[in-house]
């Protein structure tokens, strides 16, 4: 049973591959507008929300934080976006992603180095625990 003026949450979830609880969460934090209610109390979503939810999911996949997504959506909602403004925000986001990659590479190197020192024997002394307890600085 599909309302004439919209789609139900389960249909929105199927069309976007998004979890029902995630849709509810995006409503709660204001990324999706609150749906209207049908006469029988079902939440009814505008079909245009499929595209909005796909935008949100793709932005999350690219590592954008909720506040960054909200900001991008507010630009598109008002029609006030310029390519230059979106480009500037994307450059800032890319710099942050690169910083995180650098940090993860350092973590990976430290873990790999520490793991090589471990014999895996059935003994109490463990280089991994030692490395966690003592900072190299």
Taking CA atoms, 113 is separated from 10, 60, 76, 119, in Å, by: 48, 32, 47, 12
The reported pLDDT for the residue numbered 58 is 96
The reported pLDDT for the residue numbered 15 is 93
d(CA 70, CA 77): 10
d(CA 121, CA 113): 17
3-state secondary structure 86-106: HHHHHHHHHHHHHHHHHHHHH
Name the pLDDT band for 133 (thresholds 50, 70, 90). Answer: confident
pTM score above 0.85: no
| pLDDT at position 48 over 60 | yes
| pLDDT at position 2 over 60 | no
């Amino acid at each position: 049973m599909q309302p004439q003026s919209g789609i139900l949450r389960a249909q929105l979830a199927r069309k976007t591959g998004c979890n029902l609880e995630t849709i509810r969460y995006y409503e709660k934090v204001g990324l999706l507008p609150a749906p209207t209610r049908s006469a029988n109390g079902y939440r009814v979503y505008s079909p245009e929300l499929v595209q909005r939810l796909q935008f949100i999911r793709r932005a999350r996949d690219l590592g954008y934080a909720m506040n960054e997504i909200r900001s991008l959506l507010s630009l598109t909602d008002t029609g006030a976006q310029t390519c230059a403004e979106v480009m500037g925000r994307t450059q800032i986001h890319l710099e942050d992603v690169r910083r995180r990659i650098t940090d993860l590479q350092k973590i990976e190197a430290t873990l790999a180095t520490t793991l090589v020192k471990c014999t895996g024997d059935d003994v109490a002394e463990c280089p991994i625990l030692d490395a966690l307890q003592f900072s190299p600085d």
